[in-house]
């Protein structure tokens, strides 16, 4: 028997298919076994070698080629026997689309329920709740459209598969239908636009309540860290000038501005719950993005520009730990705009605490202004050491008081 005949022979082809299937499954079985019984034979190196994967791929290609040949043999033999064409591919694809629809819809359901339950907890800020509401509304509308259009798309593909007996329905246009499906999406989108617009306005165009002035916090980004500046007793974050940047004054704070002198540094962002916070965002070097997912807060930090975001945290960290059932839960903020090699690790912890806790915490924070900087800015340096301790202690308590006043304003 010539090789060619041997290859085209139906039985051999079928055998080859079986053998390849068996070989493949046994390879995969070995995979599984290898993973399960790791101590027996260390397959780690094998899995890392490229050749192993190339061989697997070639085996798969061979397998596909053999199936292809088998199909061809089958079709040719059908043709030789004068029977109708072997495989009705139109029906195959129509059925595959129907199958894809069913499995796909289940897959979407699975994703929504399984991955959908791994998402961020409910918003921990006032405006975040509005965003979440909008999100849910949009999700409902789009999911309905998604499911319906896909049922139609794959359903039509299944129902109207080719048949030689049928002729398609000549239906070039219908202006009424066109109008309907222009106007209906337009109306739905108008609703979404209006809601989105109002929410957007309520986030960015806030009228300041004189009795509840927001707490100013300045955040400065640089490759690849954040610096936080609290306003100190006066409640105002003082001026900065990038030209004043030195090793001792890394943020370039201008201490000639009296508002700067009591500004405090912090390693983490601590916020009193229920109190509006006005973030002042700046950047030293490149653009970063200040992103605080749990509070639905994001705004880029741009060098040469001050950007502001005002929001009100509504849940303390402790409350959130309870809600998420995760005692290690922490709020945080991170960088969301590509900024260089350390982009993937630029984070700071945020703690939302009760007002009382906040007051004790803020009282412990140090000011940016130190003796070196005092000299640099020709400010009177605090006198002798002993006195300065006492002095700073009283100053601290004064600071706490004024701070409280600022908070109570």
Within residues 381-400, the interface with another protein by CB under 8 A covers none
Stretch that binds another protein, among 101-109, 208-216, 228-236, 313-321 (CB under 8 A): 101-109
DSSP 13-73: HHHHHHHHHHHHHHHHHHHHHHHHTTTTS--HHHHH-HHHHHHHHHHHHHHHHHHHHHHHH
- If binding is defined by CB under 8 A, does position 78 make contact with another protein? no
Q: 271 to each of 90, 183, 185, 214, 293, how far by Cα in Å? A: 63, 47, 42, 11, 16
Between 83 and 115, whose beta carbon lies closer to another protein? 115
Stretch that binds another protein, among 96-104, 207-215, 226-234, 261-269 (CB under 8 A): 96-104
Residues 213 to 272: which contact another protein by CB under 8 A? 222-223, 242-243, 245-247, 250, 252
Compute the least distance from the CB of residue 19 to another protein, in Å: 21
Instruction: Give SS3 for 329.
Output: coil
Between 153 and 389, whose beta carbon lies closer to another protein? 153
Task: Tell which one of 31, 42, 79, 178 touches another protein (CB under 8 A).
Answer: 178
Compute the least distance from the CB of residue 264 to another protein, in Å: 22
Number of residues that bind another protein (CB under 8 A): 117
DSSP symbol at 268 = S
Stretch that binds another protein, among 16-24, 27-35, 284-292, 379-387 (CB under 8 A): 284-292
Cα 375 to the center of its chain, rounded Å: 46
- If binding is defined by CB under 8 A, does position 140 make contact with another protein? no
Task: Tell which one of 11, 176, 325, 341 touches another protein (CB under 8 A).
Answer: 341
Residue 274: CB atoms within 10 A of its CB come to 15
Q: How far apart are CA 158 and CA 161, in angstroms?
A: 6
Helices 355-363 & 385-408, crossing angle to 10 degrees?
A: 150
- If binding is defined by CB under 8 A, does position 32 make contact with another protein? no
Stretch that binds another protein, among 23-31, 57-65, 269-277, 395-403 (CB under 8 A): 57-65
Task: Tell which one of 84, 181, 209, 211 touches another protein (CB under 8 A).
Answer: 181
- If binding is defined by CB under 8 A, does position 38 make contact with another protein? no
Compute the least distance from the CB of residue 304 to another protein, in Å: 3
- For residue 37, the number of C-alpha atoms closer than 13 Å in the C-beta half-sphere is 6
Cα 150 to the center of its chain, rounded Å: 26
Sequence-distant (6+) residues with CB within 8 A of 332 are 292, 294, 347, 348, 349, 350
Q: Which tokens go with 233?
A: 């007793």
Between 196 and 274, whose beta carbon lies closer to another protein? 196
Instruction: Give SS3 for 368.
Output: coil
Q: How far apart are CA 46 and CA 59, in angstroms?
A: 16
Task: Tell which one of 27, 186, 393, 405 touches another protein (CB under 8 A).
Answer: 186
- If binding is defined by CB under 8 A, does position 59 make contact with another protein? no
Residues 296 to 335: which contact another protein by CB under 8 A? 296-300, 302-305, 307, 328, 330, 332, 334-335
């Amino acid at each position: 028997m010539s090789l060619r005949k041997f290859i085209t022979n139906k039985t051999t082809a079928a055998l080859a298919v079986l053998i390849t299937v068996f070989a493949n499954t046994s390879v995969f079985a070995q995979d599984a076994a290898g993973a399960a019984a790791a101590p027996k034979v260390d397959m780690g190196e094998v899995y890392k070698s490229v050749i192993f994967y190339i061989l697997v791929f070639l085996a798969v290609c061979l397998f596909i080629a053999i199936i292809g040949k088998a199909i061809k043999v089958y079709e040719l033999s059908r043709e030789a026997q004068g029977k109708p064409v072997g495989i009705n591919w139109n029906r195959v694809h129509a059925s595959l689309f129907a199958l894809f629809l069913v499995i796909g819809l289940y897959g979407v359901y699975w994703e929504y329920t399984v991955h959908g339950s791994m998402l961020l907890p409910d918003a921990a800020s006032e405006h975040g709740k509005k965003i979440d509401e909008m999100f849910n509304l949009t999700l409902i509308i789009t999911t309905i459209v998604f499911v319906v259009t896909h049922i139609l798309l794959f359903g039509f593909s299944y129902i109207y598969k080719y048949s030689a007996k049928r002729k398609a329905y000549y239906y070039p246009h219908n202006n009424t239908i066109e109008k309907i499906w222009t106007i209906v999406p337009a109306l739905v989108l108008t609703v979404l636009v209006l809601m989105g617009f109002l929410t957007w306005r309520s986030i960015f165009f806030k009228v300041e309540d004189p009795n509840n002035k927001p707490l100013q916090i300045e955040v400065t980004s640089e490759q690849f860290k954040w610096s936080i500046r609290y306003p100190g007793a006066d409640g105002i974050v003082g001026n900065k000038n990038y030209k004043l940047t030195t090793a001792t004054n890394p943020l370039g704070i201008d201490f000639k501005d009296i508002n700067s002198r009591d500004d405090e540094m912090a390693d983490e962002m601590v916020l009193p719950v229920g109190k509006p916070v006005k973030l002042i965002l700046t950047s030293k070097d490149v653009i970063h993005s200040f992103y605080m997912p749990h509070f639905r807060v994001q705004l880029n930090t741009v060098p040469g520009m001050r950007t502001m975001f005002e929001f009100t945290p509504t849940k303390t960290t402790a409350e959130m730990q309870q809600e998420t059932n995760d005692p290690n839960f922490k709020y945080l903020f991170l960088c969301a705009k590509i900024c260089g090699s350390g982009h993937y690790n630029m984070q700071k912890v945020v703690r939302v605490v009760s007002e009382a806790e906040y007051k004790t915490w803020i009282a412990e924070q140090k000011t940016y202004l130190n003796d070196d900087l005092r000299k640099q800015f020709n400010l009177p340096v605090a006198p002798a050491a002993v006195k300065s301790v006492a002095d700073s202690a009283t100053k601290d308590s004064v600071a706490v008081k004024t701070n409280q006043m600022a908070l109570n304003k």
